[in-house]
Structure 1
Amino acid sequence: MTAAAHRREHDLLGDREIPADAYWGVHTLRAVENFPITGTPISTYPHLINALAAVKEAAARANQDLGLLDAERADAIADACREIRADGRLHDQFIVDVIQGGAGTSTNMNANEVIANRALEILGHDKGDYRHLHPNEHVNLSQSTNDVYPTAVNVATISAVRELLDAMTVLREAFAAKAEEFRDVLKMGRTQLQDAVPMTLGQEFSAYAVMLEEDQSRLAEAVLLIHEINLGATAIGTGLNAPKGYAAAARDHLAALTGLPLVTAANLVEATQDCGAFVHLSGVLKRIAVKLSKSCNDLRLLSSGPRAGLAEINLPPVQAGSSIMPGKVNPVIPEVVNQVAFEVIGNDVTITMAAEAGQLQLNAFEPIILHSLSESITHLGAACRTLAERCVSGITANTETLRASVENSIGLVTALNPHIGYTAATAIAKEALATGRGVAELVLEQGLLPAERLAALLRPEVLAGTGGERPADDEPSARTRVGTGPA
């Protein structure tokens, strides 16, 4: 390597050689060396990089407003930040590991150095010539990692959650479409995996759509808490080294840049140490994961077979299922969604422990909170879209199998219970189970109900409660005629 290929930078530990074309500097270099943990750089999360750039641009403009930063430097910093967040430039220069010690200091310094060196170029200077514009003195002016990093995490999380909400809408609409398609397909409902009472396949799928809709509402509520930021708190919430009016000015600029209704926390000391909003949000993500996984469990069970399982529905085949069993097709899409759900549940434990581990005026563990939240939100979004597009939209119903299960089910007798009485219904159920004969056949044979009335009671819309009046008892009830006792 030649001297021309490098530049020398200095920090409190001494001098280091930095690649001449790198926009990051000595602080970033040491962080890369110190934290070879996941191999996942912060650039993996573009929402975070964009949020950091927005925070730095807002800070520069606030400092300019308050007379701390001249217009030339402020403009150069703002231009560099816009290139990063609007044009997607220089994201590859954000290279520190997402899990790091120091409460996010390495991330903040990576951003300071990249923005400073790009701003130097804009001003016509060489990278690393910090005499003209410095990462700490100018890009980090009136700031601390302890207010920059949490604020950037909040802004990034809001953007990511919006994408998750969109993905959940895609899946909810896919379930709703199937609910409409299957609205007249009669089947047996089950409780504790035993025959219960009839329903429609449409009702079953509509429940999945409603569960998602409920979770979207809870997620939208939870993310509102993340709109409260601590920008202007500096180190511990006292605002040391930030001039009067800075917090409000920086917030206003950041809100304008992001289009978000951000608010400054009422108590910045509390906001700098409290991660409760992240715990709450993670809890909602866990709720989504649990219910989504339950829905996928149902899809796997309902599609089990094709000959020796329930085989009530068919999932679209997307790949061969076995290297040894020819023709086998597995429910791989629900399976991958299940695994995402397991990850989200585990991430919730991590976030809980990280929030609890904070001490005194700062929580040093927000990097793992960021990482875990980002993984949960991103993977849930991908899972929702994959499930909708690669599975739910292509599901078909085995209507004859479903109807036969109703006609042959002992559970059918429950619908007749109010009309023939509990004791008679129990006897019919017992005989049907012992002989393999149908409930309707036995009711007619024993004269418990006339054929016309039985047919009316067993209409699909009556059994499933999807429409039509239940036939009234316009003749002496069977329970009266046969002395069967109370229902």
Structure 2
Amino acid sequence: MTQQTSGEMRIEKDSLGEIAVPAGHLWGAQTQRSIECFPIGTARFVWRRPVIRAFGILKKSAAIANGELGQLPADKVAMIVKAAQSVIDGDVDEEFPLVVFQTGSGTQSNMNANEVIANLAIRNAGGKLGSKTPINPNDDVNRGQSSNDTFPTAMHIAIVEEISRDLFPAVTQLRDTFERKGRQFDDVVMVGRTHLQDATPVTLQQVFSGWVAQLDEALAAITATLPALYALAIGGTAVGTGINAHPRFGDVTAAKIAAETGHAFISAPNKFAALSAHDAVANTSGAIRTLAGALMKIANDVRWYACGPRAGFNEITIPENEPGSSIMPGKINPTQCEALTMVAVQVFGNDAAVAFAGSQGNFQLNVFKPVMLHNVLESTMLISDACRAFDTFCAKGIEPNRAKIETNLKNSLMLVTALNPHIGYEKSAKIALLAHKEGSSLKEAALNLGFVTEQEFDAWVIPADMTHPLPE
């Protein structure tokens, strides 16, 4: 949303005085000041739905907790809860216009939520927007809170929900496709490759199983970071001491958030770390970056195996989704692989930003919170989208080119490895080197050197038998 400079305005007040706010909007003075003072870039939390939802959940839970703890009367609790529910449900997303690059504590985003919920409650009550009556954004919606503990709380809620809601299902969907493809092609024996050179045979199922295992391990690593994200800063208020909050406010609010989301959120045992360091976010970002590395490897494998169609390996075929060249007719490129690898590169960069930002806590506060949240959510969103696209438009359509696989396998010099247990490494090496030098087959070279008989060669060099250990 761009700043509005025309149309009907209303006057709102904050501690710095009066400021004109677009009359039709629910945000207030502090949000408007942020719009005007931070015209920096275009990046908003526009995968912002998770962030807006997180703030709605937090403010709803805080109001209920304050009511139970005797800090807010029941009528105000009900008004705040109703307004916060509208925020949770996405009814007022257009009222959250702020960019990522604002104050490092996220104060303006916290006040944006406070102002919107307060004005929405006022409007629901038939009051005047900006009047702060009967609901005050600071004294009521923000009761027992500081931006320093609310923003990191919203960070954790948004990240946990998006990983669970979007990332895990998207990656699991791709992982399951690879597992199904592996079972489908467990009879396909192909050239293995190490150092980009021919190696001993593998099955296509074994190739797929490696990809499945990488994704399983990456998902397990991300899952292992979630307990640290369950610990919420709420209750720490300004510096971690809990000043101006009921002593049980953090615990009760965290329990309400857990009930609202279905995730095991708790009040962080040490609020000083929760405000001044965001190691949990950095660890999650690092685990997501590891997942991106696995996806980079998988996408590169797929496009190498599919390279060609006539001058490359061409051992698998992938779907032909769109023309690949504006000058070369009929050219088809591995575009889904390219998109996935570009996403991986972006995630690597995002994680570097998160890691550096996470190192910048000073005394009782880290003031790089918005950029950390922005980058983790972007990484989560990009990987989720890319995995779904790769699965739909590439992975599900992978097929083996059996003729090319058989030709490459038959011509592989590394089949000679099967002779090692029978004639030794040195003689086997001489066979491979002679075949390579003369352009002959392994069998011809072996017979020419007199190291084996034809019957022995045929009995010992069986590619399928080379895809598993020797029998006991």
TM surpasses 0.5: yes
Asked if residue 337 in structure 1 is aligned to residue 340 in structure 2, the reply is yes
**Contact 1:43–1:92 (8 Å) recurs in 2:** no
**Contact 2:354–2:372 (8 Å) recurs in 1:** yes
- How big is each residue's C-alpha offset from its partner over 1:255-277, in whole Å with a ceiling of 9 and x where there is no partner? 11112111212111122111111
| Aligned pairs (5 A) from 1:203-242 | 203-242=206-245
| Aligned pairs (5 A) from 1:113-152 | 113-152=115-154
Query: Distance between the aligned counterparts of 2:20 and 2:457, measured in 1?
Result: 89
Give the secondary structure class of the aligned counterpart of 1:141: coil
Query: Distance between the aligned counterparts of 2:382 and 2:212, measured in 1?
Result: 20
**Contact 1:43–1:49 (8 Å) recurs in 2:** no
- In 2 relative to 1, CA 138–297 (structure 1 residues): closer, same or farther, beyond 3 Å? same
Q: Identify which of 151, 157, 160 aligns with 2:159.
A: 157
Query: Distance between the aligned counterparts of 2:409 and 2:267, measured in 1?
Result: 59
Give the secondary structure class of the aligned counterpart of 1:138: helix
What amino acid does structure 1 have at the position aligned with 2:120? R
Query: Distance between the aligned counterparts of 1:102 and 1:345, measured in 2?
Result: 22
Query: Distance between the aligned counterparts of 1:226 and 1:273, measured in 2?
Result: 15
Query: Distance between the aligned counterparts of 1:200 and 1:233, measured in 2?
Result: 56
| Aligned pairs (5 A) from 1:56-71 | 56-71=59-74
Partner residue in 2 for 1:384? 387
Query: Distance between the aligned counterparts of 1:40 and 1:463, measured in 2?
Result: 54
Give the secondary structure class of the aligned counterpart of 2:361: coil
Deviation at 1:441, TM superposition (A): 3.3
Asked if residue 91 in structure 1 is aligned to residue 93 in structure 2, the reply is yes
Partner residue in 2 for 1:454? 457
Deviation at 1:42, TM superposition (A): 2.7
Query: Distance between the aligned counterparts of 2:104 and 2:310, measured in 1?
Result: 58
Give the secondary structure class of the aligned counterpart of 1:256: helix
CA RMSD of aligned residues (A): 1.9
Compare 440-449 and 156-165 and name the one that shifted more.
440-449
Partner residue in 2 for 1:248? 251
Partner residue in 2 for 1:408? 411
Asked if residue 18 in structure 1 is aligned to residue 21 in structure 2, the reply is yes
Partner residue in 2 for 1:399? 402
Asked if residue 46 in structure 1 is aligned to residue 49 in structure 2, the reply is yes
Deviation at 1:46, TM superposition (A): 1.0
Deviation at 1:50, TM superposition (A): 0.7
Query: Distance between the aligned counterparts of 1:62 and 1:462, measured in 2?
Result: 66
**Contact 1:43–1:95 (8 Å) recurs in 2:** no
- How big is each residue's C-alpha offset from its partner over 1:357-395, in whole Å with a ceiling of 9 and x where there is no partner? 121100011100001101111101111111111111111
Deviation at 1:290, TM superposition (A): 1.1
Partner residue in 1 for 2:358? 355
What amino acid does structure 2 have at the position aligned with 1:62? A
Deviation at 1:43, TM superposition (A): 4.3
Partner residue in 2 for 1:104? 106
Query: Distance between the aligned counterparts of 2:77 and 2:455, measured in 1?
Result: 85
Query: Distance between the aligned counterparts of 2:295 and 2:247, measured in 1?
Result: 48
Compare 367-376 and 255-264 and name the one that shifted more.
255-264
Deviation at 1:60, TM superposition (A): 0.6
Asked if residue 436 in structure 1 is aligned to residue 439 in structure 2, the reply is yes
What amino acid does structure 1 have at the position aligned with 2:214? M
Query: Distance between the aligned counterparts of 1:4 and 1:211, measured in 2?
Result: 55
Give the secondary structure class of the aligned counterpart of 1:44: coil
Partner residue in 2 for 1:475? none
5+ residue gaps, structure 2, are: none
Deviation at 1:443, TM superposition (A): 2.9
**Contact 2:275–2:365 (8 Å) recurs in 1:** yes
5+ residue gaps, structure 1, are: 473-487
Query: Distance between the aligned counterparts of 1:308 and 1:394, measured in 2?
Result: 22
Query: Distance between the aligned counterparts of 1:456 and 1:38, measured in 2?
Result: 68
What amino acid does structure 2 have at the position aligned with 1:114? V
Larger Rg: 1
| Aligned pairs (5 A) from 1:72-91 | 72-85=75-88, 87-91=89-93
Asked if residue 364 in structure 1 is aligned to residue 367 in structure 2, the reply is yes
How much identity, in percent, do the aligned residues show?
A: 37
Give the secondary structure class of the aligned counterpart of 1:42: coil
The alignment of Structure 1 onto Structure 2 pairs a total of residues equal to 468
- How big is each residue's C-alpha offset from its partner over 1:273-323, in whole Å with a ceiling of 9 and x where there is no partner? 111111111111111111210111111211111111111111211110000
Deviation at 1:99, TM superposition (A): 2.3
Query: Distance between the aligned counterparts of 1:409 and 1:461, measured in 2?
Result: 13
What amino acid does structure 2 have at the position aligned with 1:166? P
Compare 99-108 and 230-239 and name the one that shifted more.
99-108
What amino acid does structure 1 have at the position aligned with 2:462? R
**Contact 1:35–1:99 (8 Å) recurs in 2:** yes
